[in-house]
Amino acid sequence: MQRELSMKVIAPVLERNREAAARVTGFQAWSVAQQPGLLAMREQLDQNSSRAVWDLESGRIGVTVTEHASTAAALNALADDLEANQLAELPRGPEGLGEISFVHPPPAPPAVFFARANLTVAVYSFGREPVDVIGFAQRVDAEISAQTQGGGGSRS
């Protein structure tokens, strides 16, 4: 998704959060309290980015969490992530998920991408078998919100 397209949607949220000081530190992909299944893999992708994969009863779910300097930086990084997505357009995700969120439209394998505080989060159906990702993404978002310090973030 071209950056110009995603930024049309992200820019107003970015404007509202330009001075936001909301911050979460050390939140790893696997540090979710309510695990969705059996933790199958955890990876430190780089100093600020981690990925976890869980085996569900059927299918797998994967989460990538990346820490940025600020909410504004996270929103910009979300646009970068969407730019590295092949789909021409990604629709908005559920209201209230992250500062803003985007999802894969059917028939693409389910995935949701959002920014909350200074984090970008992606939750994927991580195998051939499609798995719903929204419910788990909302739980991750709630945990991040609970750990957020400094305030200033906006619920859209």
Partner 1 sequence: MQVEEVRFNHDTSAATNDALTIASDGSSGAIAAPEWQRFPTRRLPCAYALGAISGAVTIKVRFSGGPPNATRRIRAVDANPVPPQQPGCLGSIIHAFQQWLHALFGTVGEVLERNVSFDAAGNSALETFTLNASYLGANGVVTKRNTVWKWQLKSGKTWVDFDNTDHTMYITADLPTAPWVQSGTPSQLPWATALERACMWAIGSKTKDEVAAAITREVNRVANVSYTPATMFGFNNYQLTSYLTHLTGGAFVMNCTDAADAVTTLSNLLGCNLAEGRFFNMQTRQFLTLSGDPNVAADWVSWNWGYHEICWQNDFSSNTVWDGCLQLDMSNTPGVHVAQLPVKMLFSVPAPNDYKTRLIATGTGNLEGFVRHRAVV
Could you list the residues that contact partner 1 (CB under 8 A)? 1-2, 40-41, 43, 45-46, 51, 53, 55, 59-60, 62, 80-81, 83-89, 104, 107-109, 111, 113, 122, 124-129
Dihedral over alpha carbons 93, 103, 92, 5 (to 10 degrees): 150
CA pair distance 107, 38, nearest whole angstrom: 26
Q: Min. distance of Cβ 145 from partner 1 in angstroms? A: 24
Q: Min. distance of Cβ 36 from partner 1 in angstroms? A: 15
Q: Min. distance of Cβ 80 from partner 1 in angstroms? A: 7
Q: Min. distance of Cβ 87 from partner 1 in angstroms? A: 5
Interhelix angle 71-83/3-16, nearest 10 degrees: 170
Nearer to partner 1, 34 or 86 (CB): 86
Beta bridge partners of 43: 51
Amino acid (one-letter) located at 30: W
103: phi then psi, degrees, rounded to nearest 5:
-130, 160
CA pair distance 13, 16, nearest whole angstrom: 5
Q: What is the DSSP letter of 84?
A: T
Helix (H) or strand (E) holding 82: helix 71-83
Nearer to partner 1, 86 or 146 (CB): 86
Nearer to partner 1, 5 or 21 (CB): 5
Nearer to partner 1, 36 or 62 (CB): 62
Nearer to partner 1, 33 or 47 (CB): 47
Tokens of 125: 């159906």
Q: Min. distance of Cβ 43 from partner 1 in angstroms? A: 6
